[in-house]
Amino acid sequence: MSFRACSLQDLTPGEGLRIDSVQPPIAVFLTEEGTVHALDDTCTHQDASLAAGWVEDCRVECPLHESTFSLETGEVDQPPAKRRVRVHSVEIDGDDVLVELSQDAPNLPPGVTA
C-alpha cells in the first residue's frame, strides 16, 4: 500500500529528503536527471542519514564514511558498508510522490532498530 511521502516541490535536484513518518525512516531523492527514488535513510554501516549525503550518477554517498549506494538497486559499491539498503517503489501522481514500502527486512547498522 502506497503513502504520500511528499510533493515534488519538496524535493531539490541532487539532494535527499528524510521522511520520518515511517520506521525506519526513508529518504526520497530527486536526481539531476529528474528521476525520483526512495531508500531506507540509514546507512547499513553506521547510523548516518543518507538524505544528508551527496547524490551523483544515480548514487548516494553516505556523509559519514563515504560508502555509496545505488538509488535504483540499493547495492553498495564502496566500503566500509557491506550490505545494501532497501529500495522502495515510487510513483508520481500529479505533484504527489507516492511510496510503497518494501516488504524486505531492513538492513540496519549495529545498534539501530526499526
Q: Which residue has the cell 548516518?
A: 48
pLDDT at 69: 98
Region 28-36: mean pLDDT is 96
Report residue 74 as a C-alpha cell: 540499493
Instruction: Please report which confidence band the pLDDT of residue 39 belongs to, taking 50, 70 and 90 as the band edges.
Output: very high
Does 56 map to a domain?
A: yes
Q: What percent of the chain has pLDDT over 90?
A: 94
CB-CB neighbours of 83 under 10 Å? 16
pLDDT at 1: 86
What is the Cα–Cα distance from 57 to 111, expressed in whole angstroms? 31
pLDDT tens digits for range 43-52: 999 999 999 9
Report whether pLDDT(113) > 90: no
Report whether pLDDT(111) > 90: no
pLDDT tens digits for range 69-95: 999 999 999 999 999 999 999 999 999
Note down the domain range covering 37.
2-100
86, burial (CB in 10 Å: exposed 0-12, middle 13-18, buried 19+): buried
Give the chain's domain count. Answer: 1
Can you give the CATH number for the domain in which 50 is found? 2.102.10.10
Does 85 map to a domain?
A: yes
Length of the chain: 114
Eight-class DSSP state of 13: B
Does 107 map to a domain?
A: no
